[in-house]
Chains A and B, each alone.
Chain A
Amino acid sequence: MQGEPAIVTTELTKDYGPVLGVDRLNLTVNTGEIFGFLGPNGAGKTTLIRLLLDLIRPTSGEARVFDQDARTGGPDLRRKIGFLPGDWKLETSHPAGEFLQFLGRLRGGVPESNITDLADRLGLNLGASVRSLSRGNKQKVGLIQAFMHEPELLILDEPTSGLDPLMQREFLAMAREAREQGRTVFMSSHVLSEVQHVADRAGVIRNGRLVTIMNIDALRTHAQVHLSVRFAEPVDHREFSEIPGIRGLQVDDTLLTCLVDGDIDPVIKAIARHRVTQFLSEEPDLEELFLTHYRDDAANGQ
């Protein structure tokens, strides 16, 4: 499913005067992947998304979507995009179904069954007035209008915010299905676990700069594991400290905790020399990697 990239930004910069929205951002999102865009609030996620949609214009650099300049792509380009904004107050008094049909007409018509199918899926009552909906239900209206025309590229700003856990899972399923159909999902989030569950790759942004891009599959296959082992008798710190790949080793009487990066076999062999009463291994989650990254950055005087 991989052809030309869906999104390419080159030295993309948006200078808001006192603050930098995004700063010399170079990013490529492949066609047919789910790309998670992570960062705390105010890091520049929404700025990047609004640049991609030509809602705001770059100070310098360029954003290309399906090999067209976002600045000049116009209606033809935006026809291929479904967008969920992060902040949409939705004050109309129309019933949700009528409102979505109106939005469909703005797109030149969307089959009504697309709207009703999505509404069934997300459990949205199309007869209810939009203004009276709860935050979560308004978010569903936003998601439906982003998905209803089956766009090639979904640009979603904080798609799960306001959704209950069940609906969050439903949304993640929708995103996966879109990917299976060869479509591209670009979603921002500050909830790392959801990106970890669904995304192929994740970019981390901070203060407008792209800090890192992580390949989530590679992260998962990369043997990195947290160990927490309780022994029957106290063990010696030195016995483990020399093993390659062991990090953050702490031995507190009979309790050993560490992170193993790489080959786990020598560690297991060393542990096996003692009587073990409890053994716990955990995959580090993205959040942890993410925070480590921030800490590293902070330590480097950023």
Chain B
Amino acid sequence: MVSNRFPLLYQTVRDSLRGMVYWSIGIVAVISLYLLVYPSMIEGQEAYETVFDNLPEALVEGMGWHDITSGPGYLDYTVYSLFGPIFLLILAISYGSRLVAGEESQGALDVYLSYPLDRTRLLLERFGALVSIIIGIGALLGLVVAGYVVLLDMGVSMNNIVAGTVGLILLAIFFGTLALCTGAATGRTGVVMGVAAGFAVLSYVFQTLAPIVDWLGWIETLSPFHYAIGGDPLRAGFDVTGIIVLIGATGLVLGAGIMLFERRDVRS
């Protein structure tokens, strides 16, 4: 049984279930709010397009409004580029920071590490728990979106919904792992927030600005968002390169986290 083979992973997920229910309710509510507006968007399509035509090109481009009246465009603008990543990243970073650094400040890490459980194992079980939680919530998001796409006839294929959702999940796993491993490497929740949340906000901004600011073009390639949603998965489907880059980056962060965690003093 999982509870015996990976007790820490199992318990971490179990302890998170109640929180996950609230996250799920929130996700369903916000997706519904956005997507139930979609039909009225279609009705007023011409009026919107007139408005956007009169706005500066850079603004429309930067805000992702250029295609907002199409099914994929609307879904991308509302869920996959805006609320989805924000929601999943907050979830991932808050769990990621709690699972090592948060426990350390409560003295619980001392106890776990005094057990026959080496640090690598502890971090890997926590990583497993984090991934499970993110996949759980991310899959729910994908399912709800798929339901609305069918219901409202938004013209996005299931394959592309899966592609977009996988991108979001991998993005959240990357930032969650960054938070987890920053915590494992430093033991300070403050540093975790600074590094993981700071990097997330910066890369989101770069990703958004890159299309309109020429010299930011190269910097976009440093943003994990670029690899998750930059390939326009709702229209183009899976971005294999992006997926490989995100998984690779997550692996590197995890490896560095393990190395630094093994080497340092646990804070008292």
Chain A contacts to B: CB under 8 angstroms: 46, 50, 53-57, 74-76, 78-79, 81, 83, 85, 87-92, 94, 102-103, 105-109, 145, 155
Q: Which chain A positions have C-beta within 8 A of B113?
A: 53-55
CA distance A47 to B120 in the complex (A): 23
Pick the residue among A74, A87, A103, A109 that contacts B268 (CB under 8 A): A87
Q: How many whole Å from B142's CB to the nearest CB in chain A? A: 31
B63 to chain A, nearest CB (A): 42
* CB–CB B110/A85 < 8 A: yes
Q: Compute how far the CA of A119 lies from the CA of B49 in the bound complex, rounded to whole angstroms.
A: 71
A88–B111 CB distance below 8 A: yes
B107 near A78 with CB under 8 A, answer no
**B114: A residues at CB distance < 8 A:** 53, 55, 78, 81, 83, 85, 155
A111 to chain B, nearest CB (A): 14
Name 6 interchain pairs, CB-CB below 8 A, sorted by A: A83-B114, A85-B107, A85-B114, A88-B107, A94-B15, A103-B115
Interchain CA distance A102-B115 in the complex, whole Å: 12
Beta-carbon contacts of B101-134 to A below 8 Å, as 1s and 0s?
0000011101111111110000000000000000
Q: How far is the CB of B53 from chain A (nearest CB, A)?
A: 56
A56 CA to B104 CA, complexed, in Å: 13
A21: shortest Cβ distance to chain B, in Å?
A: 10
Q: Is the CB of B112 within 8 A of A106?
A: yes
B4 an interface residue at 8 Å Cβ cutoff?
yes
Interface range on chain B: under 10, 10 to 19, 20 to 34, or 35 or more?
Answer: 20 to 34
Q: Which 4 residue pairs spanning A and B have beta carbons closest together?
A: A75-B116, A105-B7, A83-B114, A56-B265
Interface SS, A side: loop
Measured CB to CB, the closest approach of chain B to A139, in angstroms, equals 13
Closest A residue, CB atoms, query B122: A106
Q: Tell whether, in the assembled complex, residue A89 and residue B111 are in contact, meaning their CB atoms are under 8 Å apart.
A: no
Q: Specify which chain A residues have a CB less than 8 angstroms from the CB of B8 in the assembled complex.
A: 106
Asked if A105 contacts B3 (CB within 8 A), the reply is yes
CB distance from B253 to the nearest CB of A (A): 23
CB-CB < 8 A to A89: which residues of B? 106-108
Given A46-B268, A105-B4, A106-B112: A88 in contact with B106 (beta carbons within 8 A): yes
Take A88-B106, A92-B15 as given contacts and tell me if A109 and B4 are in contact as well, using a CB distance cutoff of 8 Å: yes
Residue of A nearest to B264 (CB): A57
| B70 part of interface (Cβ distance < 8 Å) | no
CB of A78 within 8 A of CB of B266, answer no
Cβ-based interface call for B11 (8 A): yes
Shortest B162–chain A CB gap in Å is 35
